[in-house]
Amino acid sequence: MILNVQNLSVTFRSKSGIVHALKNICFSLGKGEVLALAGESGSGKSTIANALVGLVPWEKGGAYELFGEKINPYQKKSFSIVRSKMQMAFQDPYSSLNPRNTVMEIVAAPLLAQGISKNEATAKAKKMLDLVGLSNADTQKFPHAFSGGQRQRIGLARALVLEPKILICDEITSALDVSVQAQILHLINDLRSELELSLIFISHDIDVMEIIASRVLRLKNGEIS
């Protein structure tokens, strides 16, 4: 197992009270596996994804192991190791890309954040954009110049440029038309074999999950059902 999560709980506190978004979630992910997280809105699918990359705080008592290495989920620093091995692509291709940055700047940003030189980052970003099917001429354009499917390709390139081994796809085809959805599903499958990726695939569409996933984890009210 390349990923092992034990007793993951997340609680949100707001003026209206406490919400137990996740309660003692335990699961693991094997090499090359596509694990689907299924459930209704609010069942906790995206919260699991956000907790794995450190975007929401864990409640006490959880344990997290990535490629055999113990990760301390209570220390912000430990997630920089996680993010070099695990990346995320988001649902809405319109709001997940900075409209003021060029495609090149967007895709090279994670490399620069990891301290890689600009020249090397540009070269790697170009290679990744080529792999997801965007041309060299596209690199200097801004996100508004692209359709939803192409923006999703940019999002995937940004997620994969650090060469992670695990990719979390958070409803990445929900905002797309069916013909574009088919293109993206094929692209993900090709990238999975080419880059030896394991996937955590979040979706509410049972038909899409059946097509892409090897195992399904069903969630209801923050618990595995």
Partner 1 sequence: MNSELLSVRNLSVAFNDVQVTDKVCFDISCGEIFALMGESGCGKSVSAMAIPRLLPHPSAKIVCGEIILEGKNLLELSSKDMYEIRGKKIGCVFQEPMQALNPVVSIGTQLLEAVRFMPKENRLKRIKELLAKAQFKDPERILKSYPHEMSGGMLQRIVICIALAPKPSLVIADEPTTALDANIQTAVMDILKDMCKSENASMLLITHNAHLAAKYADRIAVMYAGQIAEIGKTSDVFNTPKHPYTKALLKVVPSKGKTLSDLKPIPGSVLSPKDFDNGCRFRFRCEFAKEECKELRIENGELRINDKKHWSSCIL
Tell me the β-bridge partners of 88: 168
Q: How far is the CB of 189 from partner 1 (least distance, A)?
A: 6
| Residue 145: CA count within 13 A, CB half-sphere | 11
Contact 222, 44 (CB under 8 A): yes
For the CB of residue 40, give the shortest distance to partner 1 in the complex, in Å: 5
Of 7 and 189, nearer to partner 1 (C-beta) is: 189
Q: Which is nearer to partner 1, 41 or 75 (CB)?
A: 41
> CB of 51: closest distance to partner 1 in angstroms?
22
Nearer to partner 1, 107 or 208 (CB): 208
Is residue 139 within 8 Å of 129, Cβ to Cβ? yes
Phi, psi of 78 (to 5 degrees): -65, -20
Q: Toward partner 1, which CB reaches closer, 12 or 94?
A: 94
Angle, vertex CA 168, rays to CA 157 and CA 45, nearest 5? 140
How near is the Cβ of 184 to partner 1 at its closest, in Å?
Answer: 9
Residue 3, C-beta contacts closer than 8 angstroms, at least 6 positions apart? 28, 29, 52, 65, 66, 67, 86, 166, 198
Binding residues (CB under 8 A) for partner 1: these are 40-41, 147-149, 177-183, 185-186, 189, 204-208, 210-212
**Residue among 77 and 144 whose Cβ is closer to partner 1:** 144
